Structure 1
Amino acid sequence: MTLQDQLNHKFESGLLFKRGLSAAGIAILIASVLIMIFGNEGNLVWIALTTTAIAGFGAGIFYYLLNDFLQPNGLKNVLAKIFSLLVFAASFWLALIFALAQVGLWD
């Protein structure tokens, strides 16, 4: 692939939105399970779910940009997926801590 082909690569908005929504759904699922197990369900829990969903959506977009847009092959593909998973975990964790600290559930 030449440099000109890489510059003319178009974003697939449907796939971008699909990756973002699937990562946001996974983030909401994990956050709701963690809150049900360790927290108390109050009326401010939606703040934590919304914040983690936004972080998950951003991580899904990052995954699309890294894996689908750059199109790595072989070992680069595996490393891109592992790095995307680490970005998802870090953004999810930071968003969850931020949201729980704002509502007073994180000390």
Structure 2
Amino acid sequence: MKLDKATIEKKLLHFPDWDYFDNAIHAEFEFENFKDCFSAMSRIAFECEGLNHHPDWSNVYNVLRISLSTHDAGGVTQKDFDLAEAIEAIVEVED
């Protein structure tokens, strides 16, 4: 079920790296180098498969940009926050 803007903004209080715009939540993470970035992306990919929920993402050298929304719901859902939480746990390990 698609979440309303107020609910999304309240949930984002627990996700300081994430912003809400263009009907999705977005984050950008910077790593030491390409290898560390790609390693995190690989671990995130396994989480995505496990949750059956996949990001729109791009990578340039050591920067990973991620956008999450639930396409079949037409916006942000709890699935997106579940995946964001998993991504945060993976990225924290990299730090």
Question: Considering only CA atoms, is the larger Rg found in Structure 1 or Structure 2?
Answer: 1
Larger strand proportion of the pair: 2
* TM-score where L is the length of structure 2: 0.37
* TM-score where L is the length of structure 1: 0.34
